Amino acid sequence: MTTQRCAVIATKCLFLALVVDSWLFSICSGSLSSPLTSSSSASMTKDVRTSPHLLYILADDFGYYDVSWKNKAAKTPNLDALREQGMDLDRLYAYQFCSPTRCSLLSGRLPIHVNTQNHPASKPGGVDLRMTVIGEKMKAQGYATAVFGKWHGGAHVEGQLPHNRGFDSSLGFLNGNEDHYTHYFGIDSGYDMWANETNMYDNSTYGGTLYRQQAVNTILNFNASAHAGLFLYLAFQNTHAPYQVPVQYEDPKISAKGSKRTFYGMATFLDETIGNVTQALHDKGLWDDTLIVFSADNGGEISGPGGCR
């Protein structure tokens, strides 16, 4: 039995609810032996996991033109590598802004059936508590579950928070955007960076760095003997405004006009992090049994420097 890696790159928009829901149905009904496996009675040389590890990477306001196979200004060698080894789905569509797309992914429902508003945590919104979300489904099947980065799936009541929605561990922010360093959210005038239920208001580390560290540590510390598999939902704030990135990721050859240099630096940071995470999968021995999906929540910011929807 041979194992085949699979990476799905949805460069247009989000790999939306119907496909995600089909994974959940297959996993939760026990009918998914592995989407990464091709079997032959003559080649059953090793055991293969009955449940694949799932890594879903969601970029924020990342455009169709912000990858290097479409735009030479974008430096995304790690995404290029995933694309070469997997599938590039470039005719997929998502909602026009953040929260409905994320709620669709979490719940397996189209936005019109779960949430079409982009509300902050101070207002009702997100996934209704009467709906089951992907973290709960995966946890029920014995998966270790984690979410790092942007939530925006509802936080008006405590029951909507990630650690109450089936995720064993979570680190990130609950609203739609914030300063990448101070983690201050201006709409609700407060600091929005949480490790499970603990506010990390005194942490001034670049958000993407925090999510990268958590993702890599979660993979390297994964206990395969205690869980059916690993489900990691990695939801970056990159490349959402405000346009901020450590200066070493900026390419001086790109014009600084309109924050374009910074934007592409944010894309470079995002791609490097994907390389760090995939390397951790190799180092832990999980690579051959992991299904990876990368997509954006709604395409590029229409008024920003990186492209348009």
Indicate if 113 belongs to the active site. Answer: no
Determine whether 98 is an active site residue.
Answer: yes
Distance CA 155, CA 68 (A): 35
Q: Are 165 and 135 in contact (CB under 8 A)?
A: yes
Catalytic residue, candidates 53, 119, 152, 180: 152
Q: Which of 13, 98, 119, 183 is catalytic?
A: 98
Per residue, the 3-state secondary structure of the chain, as one string, reads CEECCEEEEECCCCCCHHHHHHHHHHHHHCCCCCCCEECCCCCCCCCCCCCCEEEEEEECCCCCCCCCCCCCCCCCHHHHHHHHHCEEECCCCCCCCHHHHHHHHHHCCCHHHCCCCCCCCCCCCCCCCCCCCHHHHHHHCCEEEEEEEECCCCCCCHHHCHHHCCCCEEEEECCCCCCCCCCEECCCCEECCEECCEECCCCCCCHHHHHHHHHHHHHHCCCCCCCCEEEEEEECCCCCCCCCCCHHHCCCCCCCHHHHHHHHHHHHHHHHHHHHHHHHHHHHCCHHHEEEEEEECCCCCCCCCCCCC
Distance of alpha carbon 263 from alpha carbon 206, whole angstroms: 15
- Residues designated catalytic: 98, 152
